Structure 1
Amino acid sequence: MRRIPCVLMRGGTSKGLIFHADHLPTDPDARDRILLRAMGSPDVAQIDGVGGATTLTSKVAIVRRSRRPEADVDYLFAQVNITAPVVDTNPSCGNILSAVAPYAVESGMVAAQQGETTVRIFNENTRTVSTAIVQTPGGLVTYDGAARIDGVPGSAAPVKLDLAATAGSRTGKLLPTGAVRDVVNGIEISCVDMSVPMVLIPAAALGRTGYESKQDLDADHELLARIEEIRREASHVMGLGDATGKVIPKVALLAAPRGGSGISSRYFVPHVCHATHAVTGAVCIAVATGLEGTVAHELAKVSDGPQRTVRIEHPAGGLDVELAMGDGLFPTPDIRRAAVVRTARRIFEGSVVLPLEV
């Protein structure tokens, strides 16, 4: 049998394996065969691997010490398909990002500081740098704390993420089409690329409230078909090409907030509704609420001023994004802060055991 060291971690509302890059092949095909077998894909139950049979629990992070002066570590995210032999490294994952930082410190890639340790993370998927602040009292990572996030039971130590430098993550532009609104298939949408390229759709434009449960949305096959048609057409308009079989751009159905401030979102990944919300998607939507003329700006209820907190309501509760951004659209507004608080937990450490032929 073949044993490859790894750690199983929860990051935010996601869970996955984290590997040191030195322990995996550099050839992508060979690497992907290992990741598929480790997760137990393709199989709807992932019964022969450690995958949890949902998109939120079939994820992988590959981490190495960075040679870039602006970063401490490099992070490659991989979404392992559950029912097909596909490993997708096109998207990123902000929830798993929150596990990368404590992993980097505990693995010795980043020296722990007294109290808190800042980790600069270069995302190989988006070619952008984010920062994460990990709690390190006494120079050791702690996972115990009082921070709570919707979608995760209990409390844990906060991991503070700032994704302010992620505008134009895949397209090179915050507004890939050059406009705050576009019309696709007769529906007014906004195309925004902040941390992840997104197609923002007012739920009412598709005859929905935007407050539906994940279960109701996943069972609404007519709606899912319409969303996919819009997503594929918008992908061309955004310069991303044919989105068939790809997970980006992502889509969100938006509505006015139920809680009095922020905005309500149902985030699709992309063919089912997320049980909570992607961090990258939340940051994208929050920034879009500050861009006058977007559908998000029209629906949101957010305080004025250069610094604000935007609450993104989702099926399991909400997620707060701290924003600091200037006015103006072109070429890009001055986004100084786009931060969220996540939590993480190291669940087990050891080796994944695979057949020798993998």
Structure 2
Amino acid sequence: MMNSIPCMIMRGGTSRGPFIHMTDLPDSQEARAQVLLDLMGSGHPLQVDGIGGGNSLTSKVAIVGRSSRPDADVDYLFAQVDVTERRVDFTPNCGNMLSAVGPFAIETGLVAPTYGETRVRVFNVNTQRIIECFVPTPRGRVEYEGDTSISGVPGSAAGIRLSFLDVAGAKTGALLPTGHAIEQIEGVDVTCLDAATPTVMIRASDLGVDGHADPAALDANSAMLERLERIRCEAGRRMGMGDVSQSVLPKPILLSPAVGEDGTLCARYFVPQRCHKALAVTGAIALGAAVNVPGSVAHRLAVETRRVDAGKPLASIRIEHPSGHLDLRVELRDGNPMDIARVSLIRTARKIMDGRLYYRMPEALH
């Protein structure tokens, strides 16, 4: 039996996927996952029977609804839909998809626009955190055209400013869930840090790889990937997340010295068994936090390469990644690196399609 659902397909940052209103999906997570799997065509490497793009960056779904919270306008639930497996993970957040939540909320009447710029307060259900999205609305409607370029996306578009509030402990409740800025797993130094998303950070050189390599070269290194996965799973256990072998969290990040004069660090971010072709927003936020935590892998590397003064917090941070770079602004409360008030960055978004999607719903879930 075929069913249909209203949907808007949007690019958010370097990701793309359907944006769906919460009220148009089943209430139960099991039934909701079954709908998303069919919509995206998961279980086939090309997702040929759905709208997924055969890549983790284009197999994402944003579920948005009006919020009942006094400090938020809309609720946003992110779903990472596996490409080849029939599996949906509702635990992570996606900051790139988030950049299109504000425009979607305005386009669908969830938030009334103001002339000039509209602030949309988003409650991320996955991380239980608030993000402020500032959307250009110069004539009382969303403006997508502009001269802002972001690495990993062709052309330019209108800039959307995202401010992530109180990012520490998004999943584990603590910036340093293990209580240590640095520790050893499998004989290498790692930092287990949770800011916007749980991560485990490692110097690329400590795993014997070139941290400036193309993602395809890293993906082809099966021995390194196997070791990275063992480290990730042990990091997840130490962070209090239990068995993470079937979860995409925590995300591993390989770090190397920046190449450009204005760079702070160079990163290769994994999702988690394949190298991201750019850099997840949430991963960048975690790195922005880590650079300011004394003794962390990120901080030590930045100090050694003279990109950070060991005794001073760094507000403006540039993370180099395979497609270019991502710039962050980090605000600490009273200069305390463990108390991050806000992390801000600029993204872009575009509306691609507005219509209905068709899917097959198993009878058992009707």
TM-score, normalised to structure 1's length?
0.97
The answer to whether 1:314 aligns with 2:316 is no
Alignment of 1:1-20 (within 5 A): 1-20=2-21
Q: Which amino acid aligns with 2:347?
A: R
Q: For 2:119 and 2:40, how far apart are their aligned partners in 1? A: 30
* Alignment match, 2:347: 342
CA contact (8 A) 2:197 2:282 kept: yes
The answer to whether 1:351 aligns with 2:356 is yes
* Alignment match, 1:74: 75
Q: Which amino acid aligns with 1:291?
A: V
SS in 2 for 1:162: strand
Q: Deviations over 1:36-59 (max 9, x none)?
A: 110001111100100000000000
| CA 182–115 in structure 1, closer or farther in 2 if over 3 Å, else same | same
Q: Deviations over 1:32-84 (max 9, x none)?
A: 11101100011111001000000000000100000001111000000011111
Root-mean-square deviation over aligned CA pairs:
1.3
Displacement of 1:305 in angstroms is 5.3
* Alignment match, 1:264: 266
Q: Which amino acid aligns with 1:320?
A: D
Q: Deviations over 1:110-167 (max 9, x none)?
A: 1101100111110111111111100001111010001000000000001111113221
Deviates more, 1:104-113 or 1:10-19: 104-113
* Alignment match, 1:155: 156
Q: For 1:268 and 1:295, how far apart are their aligned partners in 2? A: 17
Displacement of 1:357 in angstroms is 4.4
Q: For 2:341 and 2:89, how far apart are their aligned partners in 1? A: 30
The answer to whether 1:92 aligns with 2:93 is yes
Displacement of 1:356 in angstroms is 5.7
Aligned pair count? 355
Alignment of 1:90-169 (within 5 A): 90-169=91-170
* Alignment match, 2:294: 292
Alignment of 1:100-249 (within 5 A): 100-249=101-250
CA contact (8 A) 1:302 1:308 kept: no
- Unaligned runs of 5+ residues in structure 2 are none
* Alignment match, 2:282: 280
Q: Deviations over 1:193-215 (max 9, x none)?
A: 00000000011111123111101
Deviates more, 1:10-19 or 1:316-325: 316-325
Q: For 2:149 and 2:291, how far apart are their aligned partners in 1? A: 25
Q: For 1:302 and 1:148, how far apart are their aligned partners in 2? A: 26
SS in 1 for 2:148: coil
Q: Which amino acid aligns with 2:319?
A: I
Q: For 1:204 and 1:35, how far apart are their aligned partners in 2? A: 39
Q: For 2:281 and 2:57, how far apart are their aligned partners in 1? A: 12
Moved over 6 A (4+): none
CA contact (8 A) 1:130 1:166 kept: no
Q: For 1:34 and 1:322, how far apart are their aligned partners in 2? A: 38
CA contact (8 A) 1:130 1:165 kept: no
| CA 231–356 in structure 1, closer or farther in 2 if over 3 Å, else same | closer
TM-score, normalised to structure 2's length?
0.94
Q: Deviations over 1:84-131 (max 9, x none)?
A: 111100101000000111000111111101100111110111111111
Q: For 1:6 and 1:270, how far apart are their aligned partners in 2? A: 28
Q: Which amino acid aligns with 1:284?
A: A
Q: For 1:356 and 1:175, how far apart are their aligned partners in 2? A: 42
Q: For 1:328 and 1:154, how far apart are their aligned partners in 2? A: 38
Identical-pair percentage:
47
Q: Which amino acid aligns with 1:69?
A: P
- Unaligned runs of 5+ residues in structure 1 are none
Q: Which amino acid aligns with 1:199?
A: V
